[in-house]
Amino acid sequence: MSLLPLHLLGSPVLRQRSDEIGAIDSEVRELIASMFETMDAAKGVGLAANQVGIARRVAVIDADGHRIALVNPRILSAEGRSTAEEGCLSVPDVFADVTRPEQIVVEALDADGKPFRLEVGALAARAIQHEVDHLDGILFLDHLGPVKRKMLLARWKKEHRNDSSYLKEVSPANAASD
Ligand code: ZN
């Protein structure tokens, strides 16, 4: 298990459609463990594998008491509409209201390769949709209106114009200052 550096907006892997996982082997289980550790240290409610540079269909979430890994997740149905503020570990310090379906049914494999189906609403539904989007190369910014999106992207580019890479190291959870 290890902390993995986060890929930030601009890193091409975030725009890639991630590949299905064939078999859940020790490498995938190790990835899942490291993703949980990284998500916790970064204080996120979800993390997709391509956010740590690996374009495979794995995500972890910790929202509304659902602390789960989702391998090859598929959203089977989505109902209702809800708007709430979202952020993303790959786009730090940027937040915006995003409208999504409120209730979803998702099907995935767990870390042991066992299929499960889950019906969730509220934050868990939002987190899962956000992560499944990541696996398809979609960012929460893509759900915004063009004016808002353009404004946030312009601000991001300005603030990050001196960055030398798309990677951000995550500090261990116990070293965080807030
Ligand atoms: Zn995200």
pLDDT of residue 1: 78
Domain count, the chain: 1
Range name among 17-21, 54-58, 154-158 with the lowest pLDDT average: 154-158
In the set 30, 131, 159, 169, the catalytic residue is 131
pLDDT of residue 103: 98
Residue 90 lies in a domain: yes
Residue 55 lies in a domain: yes
pLDDT of residue 90: 97
CA of 27 to the centre of ligand 1 (A): 23
Q: Is the pTM of this model over 0.75?
A: yes
Residue 72 lies in a domain: yes
Name the token pair of 8.
């930030």
Residue 64 lies in a domain: yes
CA of 88 to the centre of ligand 1 (A): 4
Residue 1 lies in a domain: no
d(CA 68, CA 134): 16
Range name among 29-33, 164-168, 171-175 with the lowest pLDDT average: 171-175
CA of 113 to the centre of ligand 1 (A): 24
pLDDT of residue 173: 73
pLDDT of residue 175: 56
Q: Once rounded to an integer, what is the mean pLDDT over residues 32-49?
A: 97
Angle at alpha carbon of residue 110, lines to 13 and 87, rounded to 5°? 45
d(CA 171, CA 178): 12
pLDDT at 41 over 90: yes
pLDDT at 176 over 90: no
CATH code, domain carrying 85:
3.90.45.10
Give the strands of the sheet with 66-79, arranged side by side. Answer: 46-48, 58-63, 66-79, 103-109, 115-120
CA of 9 to the centre of ligand 1 (A): 10
CA of 137 to the centre of ligand 1 (A): 10
Range of the domain at 145: 6-176
pLDDT of residue 172: 86
Residue 18 lies in a domain: yes
d(CA 26, CA 28): 5
Residue 131 lies in a domain: yes
Residue 65 lies in a domain: yes
Tens of pLDDT, residues 56-113: 999 999 999 999 999 999 999 999 999 999 999 999 999 999 999 999 999 999 999 9
> Active-site residue 102, yes or no?
no
Amino acid at 143: H
pLDDT of residue 174: 62
pLDDT at 153 over 60: yes
Instruction: Give strand pairing partners of 56.
Output: 19
Buried b (16+ CB within 10 A) or exposed e, 61-91: bbbeebebbbbbbebeeeeeeeeeebbbbbb
Tens of pLDDT, residues 120-152: 999 999 999 999 999 999 999 999 999 999 999
pLDDT at 178 over 60: no
Q: Once rounded to an integer, what is the mean pLDDT over residues 172-177?
A: 62
